[in-house]
Amino acid sequence: MRIVMIGAGYVGLVSGACLADFGHEVCCVDTDVSKVEALRRGQVPIYEPGLSELVLANQTAGRLSFTTSLEEAARGASAIFIAVGTPSLAEVGSADMRYVYDAARAIAAAIKDFTVVVVKSTVPIGAGDAVERILAETLPRDRFAVASNPEFLREGAAIEDFKQPDRVVVGVEDERARAIMGEIYRPIQRAGSPIVYTSRRSSEMIKYAANVFLAMKVTFINEIADLCEQLGADVLDVSKGIGLDERIGARFLNPGPGFGGSCFPKDTLALTKLAAEARAPIRLVETLVDVNDKRKVAMADKVIRTCGGSVAGKRLAVLGLTYKPKTDDMRDAPSLVIVPRLQEAGAKVVAYDPEGHRMAEPMLPGVEFAESAYACLEGADAAVIITEWDEFRALDLGRVRKALKEPVVVDMRNIYEIDAMKALGFRYVCVGRGLNGQG
């Protein structure tokens, strides 16, 4: 089956490469000329484990190609996926749909035979109808059908998530389109993942509801962690104790500096806007957006408190800047709030991130970048762990102790054993583990 993927970003590139690996013939179209040229040379512009190898293998096998011309790509395609960005509209917070609608207009000008237009981007409920209206301005109604197929992959585990998802959701109301979508995802279904067919609007809603629910779990455990600090309980035991209850589930119960990334912040905000416009405000989600925003600031203040109430003139070694490990994605990373606040308070920040350096540097002016964790820690007044890269878990803590000027570690991800840190003479402050976060 010939498939076009509009947008060769995180989702488009991973989806395109995986669909090609299933044996489909996939062409990724992007308006970013330099990105397309790099991809044609086999250079993958993002860090995602296994992606470079997958792209290269399928390119070499002739199943995956890249172009800037939709007209050329669309020839003979059964389905055209829209996987462009839907960022927050500045000052408003709702999803900015301009890239999706631009793509829809380009599709309207490019297709000649019946084609399924699949909206993979995360879009407000009803966006599929809007895409349909745009296409119908130019095309006869029997030339296309619009389907919704939201993506649930996690950065850092994107290939595995795409190939063995918990489920594939397809919102489709046209029989021909349903048959084509079934054919596209047959390899996944054969491997045991269910395909959930729904109406288009339900499918669009499933994506928002899923993301917001996960964001809510993270925010919930963050608040429980704060309470643990006040009452002398250990949030890791609490997470384990509640997570073993199958009704709750163990995942997304790790406390930290607040959620970030390319999806949760913008999707939670977009849903609150959508709900308010629909006159069915979701107060729970409005609150979690507010709680999460404030948490990042509170985390910087925790560092300042741990450093005796002032970081003016202090050298702080920040380990980890990306919003989570195994990605170089810096979109809405908590570090983008925490680090500038520490700088405003007078700290000199030196940072190290295993993969995020290139993306982070232009976003964090005034930060000195180190080439290794140990170089970052050398001579610092405190270490601050923002992202839990495995490499940091494996640091030689004796060497860390020697490198630091003061043995102070603020660990926003709870990656070390409290007793081991104490035995080494650290002042170890983590999240939700005992009174006032003192490890």
Ligand X SMILES: NC(=O)c1ccc[n+]([C@@H]2O[C@H](COP(=O)([O-])OP(=O)(O)OC[C@H]3O[C@@H](n4cnc5c(N)ncnc54)[C@H](O)[C@@H]3O)[C@@H](O)[C@H]2O)c1
Binding site for ligand X (CB under 6 A): 6-12, 29-32, 35, 83-86, 99, 102-103, 106, 121-122, 151, 153, 155, 262-263
Shortest spacing between CB 242 and ligand X, in angstroms: 27
Rounded-to-integer distance, Cα 154 and Cα 267, Å? 14
- 323: tokens are 């919003």
For ligand X, the closer CB: 35 or 315: 35
For ligand X, give the closer residue by CB, 271 or 431. 271
Closest CA to 248 of 224, 283, 273, 277: 224
Residue 174, judged by CB atoms within 10 A of its CB (0-12, 13-18, 19+), counts as middle
How far is the C-alpha of 320 from the C-alpha of 355, rounded, in Å? 9
Residue placing its CB nearer to ligand X in the complex, 9 or 171: 9
Whether 263 is catalytic: yes
Q: Are 316 and 347 in contact (CB under 8 A)?
A: yes
Q: Counting Cβ atoms within 10 Å, is residue 123 exposed (0-12), middle (13-18) or buried (19+)?
A: buried
Amino acid at 16: G
- Nearest Cα to 81, choosing from 112, 107, 118, 114? 118
Min separation Cβ 35 and ligand X, Å: 6
Least gap, CB of 12 to ligand X (angstroms): 6
Amino acid found at 426: F
Burial letters 386-417, b for 16+ CB under 10 A, else e:
bbbbeebeebebeebeebbebbbbbbbbbbbe
The CA distances from residue 21 to 13, 187, 420, in Å, are 12, 10, 45
CB of 49 to ligand X, least distance (A): 14
Q: Classify the phi-psi angles of 379: left when phi > 0, otherwise alpha if psi is within -120 to 50, otherwise beta.
A: left
Q: How far is the CB of 128 from ligand X (least distance, A)?
A: 13
CA gap 405, 392 in Å, rounded: 19
Q: Which is nearer to ligand X, 251 or 283 (CB)?
A: 251
Residue 392 half-sphere exposure toward CB, CA atoms < 13 A: 32
State which residue, 33 or 280, has the beta carbon closest to ligand X. Answer: 33
Q: Which is nearer to ligand X, 138 or 438 (CB)?
A: 138
Nearest position to ligand X, beta carbon: 9
Residue of 27, 263, 376, 430 marked active site: 263
Q: How far is the CB of 215 from ligand X (least distance, A)?
A: 13
Instruction: Show which residues are catalytic.
Output: 263
